[in-house]
């Protein structure tokens, strides 16, 4: 319990400086509502989702990292026959004027490999996104259940 409380304090204080970066817009791209789904205790990997719009030129996401896990991988989840399989991809390309929409249940996502603690609903944590042509961007990820996170992300596009 003590370890967990200390970790939470560290997480909360570190997330304060990222509080304004939940939605990010630069000349080249727009990132909307990054969220991650809660993980049950003992589950080693988590998943995070975000929407990226390439505004003025193509955008290529080439990597990510976060203090909450050993590493962050770009993954693509697809049906292979009647089995869901996850594939590690080295880059995700978004064409100009296109929006990549990540949602739980399939397709691209950020895989948090080797979580240091379970992801608990209501918490927030940073992820740094690495792009081929643009500077790194730090975003604040909200831990939400799949339904709520998806609904909130969808809402951003109606503005
Ligand atoms: Cu995955």
User: How do the domains of the chain map onto residue ranges?
Assistant: 2-156
* Residue 116 pLDDT > 50: yes
CA of 12 to the centre of ligand 1 (A): 26
* Residue 158 pLDDT > 70: no
CA of 45 to the centre of ligand 1 (A): 8
CA of 2 to the centre of ligand 1 (A): 31
How is 125-151 classified by DSSP, letter by letter? Answer: EEEEEEESSS--EEEEEEE--HHHHHH
Residues having C-beta closer than 5 Å to ion ligand 1: 75, 86, 111
Distances, alpha carbon 159 to alpha carbons 83, 122, 142, 150, 154, in Å: 37, 24, 20, 16, 10
User: What's the pLDDT score for residue 20?
Assistant: 46
- Cβ–Cβ under 8 Å, residues 120 and 143: yes
* Residue 132 pLDDT > 70: yes
User: What's the pLDDT score for residue 18?
Assistant: 42
* Residue 85 pLDDT > 50: yes
What spatial distance separates the first Cα and last Cα of the chain, rounded to whole Å? 42
> When comparing pLDDT for 104 and 19, which is higher?
104
Per-residue pLDDT of 27-49, as tens digits, reads: 999 999 999 999 999 999 999 99
| Two tokens, residue 140 | 């604040």
- Cβ–Cβ under 8 Å, residues 78 and 106: yes
User: What's the pLDDT score for residue 148?
Assistant: 94
CATH 2.60.40.1890 is right for the domain spanning 2-156: yes
Contacts of residue 137, defined as CB under 8 A and 6 or more positions apart, other chains included, come to 21, 24, 26, 31, 128, 129, 131
């Amino acid at each position: 319990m003590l370890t967990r409380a200390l970790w939470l304090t560290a997480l909360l204080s570190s997330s304060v400086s990222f509080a304004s970066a939940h939605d990010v817009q630069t000349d080249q791209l727009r990132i909307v509502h990054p969220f991650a789904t809660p993980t049950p205790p003992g589950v080693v990997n988590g998943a995070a989702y975000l929407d990226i719009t390439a505004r003025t030129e193509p955008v290529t996401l080439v990597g990510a990292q976060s203090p909450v896990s050993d590493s962050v991988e770009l993954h693509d989840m697809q049906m292979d026959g009647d089995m869901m399989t996850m594939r590690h991809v080295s880059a995700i390309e978004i064409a100009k004027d296109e929006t990549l929409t990540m949602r739980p249940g399939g397709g691209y996502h950020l895989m948090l490999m080797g979580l240091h603690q379970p992801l608990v609903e209501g918490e927030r944590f940073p992820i740094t996104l690495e792009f081929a042509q643009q500077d790194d961007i730090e975003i604040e990820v909200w831990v939400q259940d799949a339904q709520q996170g998806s609904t909130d992300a969808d809402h951003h596009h109606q503005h």
